[in-house]
Chain A
């Protein structure tokens, strides 16, 4: 792909020494990030004018925190080497071939995972690892929540701690779920699946990953800066009232939103422009459709998320009043901006998960995907409708009651394209010879969980039922059935499916099955219990509850500990298989898509000769064999 000619290395006294790009890594990134943060904090502290308006004492603190975090961000990205490419380009000297190969991680072993490496396979592995880290943190926080509510009356944690734990659990899990499929598999697998040598913009690929890393310290700093008492939705005016921890949250969201936009542009461009010769849209695997729909949906909505947090940050740090009714702003504006991102976001999570299942179903039933066109129509229908449903989160807000009817209509219409995806999956399983493997089990589990999650969603979409259920644990149980029971289960299935290609080793079957059964059983117990207490009237996001709800919460907490056991077995399975697993053959599932046509480990540029595609990848069935 590269058009750079092999120029002679620049002569000079520094030539025999290590070049600058070889010195940069996560260590210089962290170092420069910390230096940048401290420097900016010192400058802000010294030179910012004293706040004359006595009523906003914390404004100045917010300004200092924001400026320090911007210092961290710029310092970290510079230290990682994100600016080398743009600077060279500015000077009119593009990277040499050797430098590009260095950036791609050639011959660097494990070190390349800690550098600004552009190879999509490295980025895929980095995403896989960081997704697991994020889920681990979110899982620990979930256990704190459930432990609190398992105590009679709750109140095991201090109220401020509890609220922060709830908010951090929410945001870490949402971030983890957004990147869990498009990150690892969209980066590692997708380019090979479409027969490309790398992504369309490899440096943007590295940028999108390291932006996620850059967002972590600001988010974690919230824990030391007073916490985030608002939940992940960070509604105003509560957000405006919150301690400086909120600034960390805002900064993390802004950085993460940029990462998502960058990744979205990159993945979309790759799928549109870099497919192999002969891979017409009719021959493009459904997983590619799912990934593209997901990131293309994120492209218009994440800027809105970014904007909502920028405006919140301005309200906090400068005393502007976008969301403050006393200054002519509106908290309803924030709610709208938030959910204009927030509802499409759940489909950003779900669509690629379901697409991964549709990709796996033909392989494990040895028959073609049932109704490819219906699958595409379902994905397109969900994506299109999902941007028109946000205000169902505002049914009881009092904002524009006249719009409740129309939003109920659009919300319930989504069940039609969703039903199409069900038909595609069931139609593919129907009368196939089902090969019982972990990915197959994931398909069945998701069909069960998503049926429950979908139907409970229809209760919630009804305006008058929502008046009873909104803000209760029923809602929490509902979206855990969709995002965890369906999205995460599918992502774990996809991980087991592509594990052999990504790590060169088979996933340990025994550990995988043990983890599958434990987590699924624990999941049903936890969230069925939560449905019950929700119907009985327990609000969400409360750390202290009346004894009336004790029984249901003990059930849910017991289930949560079972899930934890299952997840630890899964994590153990990942480590054991990755390090000591059986070496995987090139195509362990005998699948027909292109990623299985390359060797293990996948060579640096994937294909020696770019493939030419002559038929779609679903040509299973007797007539073919």
Chain B
């Protein structure tokens, strides 16, 4: 294409297809962002800890940050379908142009995707730091968790070694779990609290959370561990401090 023809072309934002794409982009961004984030938060249910609510929040924010990208891809591809379609066994006439590159578009695309990526990384790093600090918080309740095929056992080391097969936690108390396994790998996952760490034979791994709602939650094994992996689930009872103390004593520990 000659220089002259290039000059005669309309500026890109005045072209009909570009206008169509921009309108579609706005619509898709709003629809995708709204529908996806609403469904996600609804399906993930109510959070039983700060970890889970910040994860739900993060997913909502990532969804809104990603919806313009998804919206743009959808808008541009659908615009190309709204334009000159061609059917049949013979090829369409050659396109009116032979643009092989657009350094501006490419540069903008790369810069914007880099910025989005950095946003995700920095946001993620902040949350990682928070989890990390969480592990080192003073005045927390320590519980040893042992996975074995196909059951969990809990040792309340700060409560004089009371033991149980279901997990009991006092509400609003920071808990650190020290997790290990006696046979194969398992993964300690309290679904509604958004925490998970593998139970490895021979090593102790840690995770921490503060349950903030009284109720019964799900503990599941999240690492394939053999025959009855699917049945390796337990209940997590989050109770008031008074109920917890009473329960610990009934198990032979001290409050």
Contacts and interface: CB of A to CB of B under 8 A. Distances in A.
Interface of A: 154, 159-160, 162-163, 166, 229-231, 235, 237-238, 241, 325-326, 330-332, 365-374, 396-398, 401, 404-405, 408-409, 412-413, 415-416, 419-420, 422-423, 426-427, 429-436, 444, 447-448, 451-452, 455, 458-459, 461-465, 467-468, 470-472, 532, 535-537, 539-546, 588-590, 618-625
A408 B59 contact: no
Closest 4 CB pairs of A and B: A621-B98, A398-B205, A325-B202, A471-B222
B201 A447 contact: no
A590 B114 CA distance: 38
B98 A543 contact: no
A416 B114 contact: yes
A229 B196 contact: no
A361 B101 CA distance: 15
Interface in B191-245: 191-192, 194-198, 200-203, 205-207, 218, 220-231, 233
B70 interface: yes
Contacts of B183: 237, 241
B227 A420 contact: no
A257 B253 CA distance: 55
B241 to A, nearest CB: 26
B44 A535 contact: yes
14 contacts: A331-B185, A367-B97, A367-B98, A373-B101, A396-B196, A408-B128, A413-B117, A420-B110, A455-B62, A461-B120, A463-B128, A467-B51, A470-B222, A471-B187
Contact of A423 (B106, B120, B131): B106
Given A238-B185, A464-B131, A367 B110 contact: no
A180 B210 CA distance: 48
A396 B197 contact: yes
B95 A371 contact: no
B70 A163 contact: no
Contact of B185 (A235, A422, A623, A625): A235
B154 to A, nearest CB: 18
Interface residues of B, number: 96
Nearest to A413: B117
B227 A159 contact: yes
B46 to A, nearest CB: 12
B101 A235 contact: no
Given A405-B125, A405-B128, A467-B196, A532 B43 contact: yes
Contacts of B91: 366, 435, 589-590
Given A433-B84, A470-B196, A238 B184 contact: yes
Given A539-B220, A544-B230, A623-B1, 10 more contacts: A237-B184, A238-B224, A332-B200, A370-B102, A374-B101, A423-B105, A444-B81, A448-B74, A467-B194, A467-B195
A368 B86 contact: no
Given A471-B223, A532-B39, A431 B100 contact: no
B218 to A, nearest CB: 6
Contact of A325 (B196, B197, B203, B231): B203
A473 B59 CA distance: 16
A505 B93 CA distance: 25
A235 B224 contact: yes
Nearest to B76: A426
A396 B43 CA distance: 23
B205 to A, nearest CB: 3
B229 A537 contact: no
A589 B207 CA distance: 58
B188 to A, nearest CB: 9
A420 B109 contact: yes
Contact of A432 (B58, B80, B125, B223): B80
Contact of A370 (B17, B73, B99): B99
B87 interface: yes
B147 to A, nearest CB: 12
Contacts of B125: 405, 408
Nearest to B80: A429
A432 B98 CA distance: 10
A331 B43 CA distance: 34
Given A367-B98, A435-B86, A532-B43, A462 B58 contact: yes
B187 A396 contact: yes
Nearest to A328: B202
B128 A431 contact: no
Contacts of B137: none
B121 A623 contact: no
Contacts of A459: 59, 62
Contacts of B222: 396, 470-472, 539-540
Contacts of B43: 532, 535-536
Given A405-B125, A420-B110, A423-B105, A471 B196 contact: yes
Contact of A241 (B54, B106, B116, B226): B226
Contact of A451 (B70, B113, B200, B231): B70
A368 B55 contact: no
B224 A231 contact: yes
B198 A396 contact: yes
Given A163-B229, A444-B81, A455-B66, A620 B224 contact: no
B124 A464 contact: yes
A451 B74 contact: yes
B45 interface: yes
A512 to B, nearest CB: 14
B189 interface: yes
